[in-house]
Amino acid sequence: MRYRLLSALVASAAAVAKAAPAATTTYDYIVVGSGPGGGPLAADLARAGYSTLLIEAGGDEGDNPTYADIGNFNEAANDETTRWDFWVKHSDDPARDLKFQHNTWDTGDGTFYVGLDPPADAKLLGIQYPRAAVLGGCAMHNAGVCSLPADDDWDIIVKKTGDKSWAAENMRQYLKKIEKNEYRPAGEAAHGYDGWLATSVADNSWAKNDSLPGTKILKELARLTGQDPADAANLVNRDILEEGKKVDETTSFYNMATHANSKGKRSSPNNYIRATLADPAKYPLTVKLHTLVTRVLFDTTAANATKGAVPRAIGVELMEGASLYKADPKHAAGTKGPVSQVLAAREVIVSGGAFNSPQILKLSGVGPAAELAKFKIPLVKDLPGVGENLGDNYEGSLLALGAAPVESGLITLLFRTPSAPTKKRNIYTWCGAFSFEGFWPGFPTYHGPTQYSCAMVHMGPKSQAGSVRLLSADPQDKPDINFRFFEHDGDKDLHELAEAADILREAWKAAGAPVAPLAEQHPCLGGKDAKCTDAAQAEYFKLQAYSHHATSTCAIGGDDDKMAVLDSKFRVRGVRGLRVVDASAFPVVPGAFPSCPTMMLSAKAAEDILADAKKEGKAC
């Protein structure tokens, strides 16, 4: 008879489990995604004493030299250990996208074909857009370039929302808070020296050597951009994170700063999270790796019962296992993991990045009503802006082959082209003996020992018409991502890129023997003299531009803006207990590189969330 008793007990336990699904553990905060948005935030919340669960789809590669040594960034972005491949569109015109030289095709035999002439049976994948699923997010595979937005890119949030805490002069404090500057003398007001994010610069003493071809190009570039060629060797050490009123209008060389320490070790949220876990203070931070969040859970009881009440985020549903997301090249078809739920007594913060945060919101019932209805996702809140407003820097490069190796260090230049719409500089470029032409499996192409390139990042794109939309209600599926490059005022942005190319190309002429003439490969085969018109260059950039700084898909906006997803405190509009903190929150593309700005935004979010917690009282 003991048998029966036992099975009766088991049966009733199962019934209980069914009625109240395994929602066992409760944390104060749950943060989804450990990149520049979510990683530092989770650490900050735990350090303030709140129990915090940080959920990350990837693993921890902090000790892996591919990731830990910043010089391996190309290898890191190609590495299947962490890579999520999104295959994106650049426009609504498939014929136009087919002209992108690095389109990628699945050959069916486990290899990719990259190019314009695929084998007959190959299946088009699209334009590769790598992301890193790993503790620390894309800050673990990026080049670590650390750069600040123009003041206007912060101030626009003040204009949109009235919240003065977003003013550029106030945002500087967050850089100071997180920064551990290793390249400026101690005590400069613009910088922080005891934060968790190491910043450093390269040794630019090469620029003192006048006989290097790179120095000759540098001096000519100085002349062409209104700088003193005689001062070029000093200007290449100018502080790119400098503070000042007219900085955004300044055309100058700089020393490129990276989020790495002076020994070449990458610095990212990974370090901060690990330091928080290892701290003797035993902060209440729990990190759950290899776990895919499938949706946010809401309590709709009050909203249904009381007029004016809104749904409240109470936790997340998750699926445990590695490589569950179909963007992961290691994903095996049909693989699933155990599904469970975790509760948040205070808040859920979604920080999955510009592609995944809008996807998670939509899967949870927060997004454009018609799109959710199409996939039979019960509507929690109709928010038409979720997944829209996708923006990115337009990037393009000039590539040449020298008659001999072009000895040079890295020239970093921020400048304004003649037709830029405001007085602000609009191009961030870096030139040197490398090649960078965008992303595809196996990038970049090595063009031999004489390759020389200027890579350009265009700032302030006039169009943010891209979107991230669901292809299904399956959380393991990738969404449909279309950047719709150059959709609005594209001609103007393309003209600015062509103007920039003209200036850089002109400077190459000064390279001298034995490397001159530099034989341009693109945008103009043979250079400007070989019938390279503005129109031809614009056409080249329109078809070949690439990008890797996606932002703005859950944008902060004003109360009267129906496309606003967040208020100025990162709260998702129309629900309670839910925020989005990552690069998707920026209403406009923040300068040339989003990584440092996103970490600043994360530090601000921590402060805003903790201020709210203090108001509500610590006890839950």
Ligand X SMILES: *[C@@H]1O[C@H](CO)[C@@H](O)[C@H](O)[C@H]1NC(C)=O
Contact positions vs ligand FAD (CB under 6 A): 32-38, 55-58, 77, 130-131, 133-134, 137-139, 141-145, 292-293, 351-354, 356, 360, 548-549, 582-583, 593-596, 598
- Residue 593 has phi, psi (to 5 degrees) of -145, 125
Nearest approach, Cβ of residue 124 and ligand X (Å): 40
HSE, side-chain direction, 13 A CA sphere, residue 572: 38
Vertex 351, ends 347 and 353: CA angle to 5°? 160
Binding residues: 134, 142-145, 293
Comparison of 259 and 381: residue with beta carbon closer to ligand X: 381
Comparison of 219 and 469: residue with beta carbon closer to ligand FAD: 469
Q: Are 584 and 357 in contact (CB under 8 A)?
A: yes
Comparison of 138 and 494: residue with beta carbon closer to ligand FAD: 138
Work out what residue 598 binds among ligand FAD, ligand X, none; the CB cut-off runs from 5 to 8 Å by kind. ligand FAD
Work out what residue 46 binds among ligand X, ligand FAD, none; the CB cut-off runs from 5 to 8 Å by kind. none
Work out what residue 378 binds among ligand FAD, ligand X, none; the CB cut-off runs from 5 to 8 Å by kind. ligand X
CA 170, CA 76: separation in Å to the nearest integer? Answer: 34
Amino acid at 547: S
Name 117's Cβ contacts closer than 8 Å, sequence gap at least 6: none
Strand positions, DSSP E, 409-486: 411-415, 427-432, 451-458, 467-469, 480-482
Nearest approach, Cβ of residue 544 and ligand FAD (Å): 17
Comparison of 192 and 409: residue with beta carbon closer to ligand X: 409
Q: Are 58 and 139 in contact (CB under 8 A)?
A: no
Work out what residue 582 binds among ligand FAD, ligand X, none; the CB cut-off runs from 5 to 8 Å by kind. ligand FAD
- 439-448 in b/e form (b: 16+ CB < 10 A) is bbbebbeebe
Nearest approach, Cβ of residue 131 and ligand FAD (Å): 5
Name 616's Cβ contacts closer than 8 Å, sequence gap at least 6: none
Helix (H) or strand (E) holding 176: helix 168-178
| Number of helical (H) and strand (E) elements in the chain, helices listed first | 16, 25
Comparison of 197 and 511: residue with beta carbon closer to ligand FAD: 197
Nearest approach, Cβ of residue 21 and ligand FAD (Å): 19
Comparison of 128 and 161: residue with beta carbon closer to ligand FAD: 128
| Tokens 């050490």, located at residue | 237
Burial of 190 (0-12, 13-18, 19+ CB in 10 A): middle
Tokens standing for residue 535: 């129109």
Work out what residue 501 binds among ligand X, ligand FAD, none; the CB cut-off runs from 5 to 8 Å by kind. none
Nearest approach, Cβ of residue 106 and ligand X (Å): 40
CA 533, CA 409: separation in Å to the nearest integer? Answer: 30
Nearest approach, Cβ of residue 303 and ligand X (Å): 7
Nearest approach, Cβ of residue 491 and ligand FAD (Å): 27
Q: Give the 3-state secondary structure of residue 52.
A: strand
Q: Which residue is nearest to ligand FAD (CB)?
A: 35
Work out what residue 211 binds among ligand FAD, ligand X, none; the CB cut-off runs from 5 to 8 Å by kind. ligand X
Binding residues for FAD: 134, 142-145, 293
CA 598, CA 611: separation in Å to the nearest integer? Answer: 20
CA 398, CA 523: separation in Å to the nearest integer? Answer: 6
Comparison of 407 and 534: residue with beta carbon closer to ligand X: 407
Work out what residue 149 binds among ligand X, ligand FAD, none; the CB cut-off runs from 5 to 8 Å by kind. none
- Contact residues for ligand X (CB under 6 A)? 209, 211-212, 300-301, 304, 378, 407
Comparison of 538 and 581: residue with beta carbon closer to ligand FAD: 581
Work out what residue 209 binds among ligand FAD, ligand X, none; the CB cut-off runs from 5 to 8 Å by kind. ligand X
Comparison of 253 and 593: residue with beta carbon closer to ligand FAD: 593
Length of the chain: 620
Q: Are 102 and 443 in contact (CB under 8 A)?
A: yes
Comparison of 39 and 213: residue with beta carbon closer to ligand FAD: 39
Other residues' Cβ atoms within 10 Å of the Cβ of residue 93: 11
Nearest approach, Cβ of residue 44 and ligand FAD (Å): 14
Nearest approach, Cβ of residue 610 and ligand X (Å): 30
Work out what residue 526 binds among ligand FAD, ligand X, none; the CB cut-off runs from 5 to 8 Å by kind. none
State the DSSP string of 536-557: HHHHHHHHH-B----B-TT-B-
Q: What share of the chain is helix, strand, coil (3-state, %, to 5)?
A: 30, 25, 45
Distance of CA 519 to the CA centre of its chain: 34
CA 369, CA 11: separation in Å to the nearest integer? Answer: 40
Work out what residue 367 binds among ligand X, ligand FAD, none; the CB cut-off runs from 5 to 8 Å by kind. none
Work out what residue 301 binds among ligand X, ligand FAD, none; the CB cut-off runs from 5 to 8 Å by kind. ligand X
| Tokens 């805003």, located at residue | 608
Nearest approach, Cβ of residue 152 and ligand FAD (Å): 18
Tokens standing for residue 462: 């006039």
Q: Are 338 and 294 in contact (CB under 8 A)?
A: no
Comparison of 227 and 595: residue with beta carbon closer to ligand FAD: 595
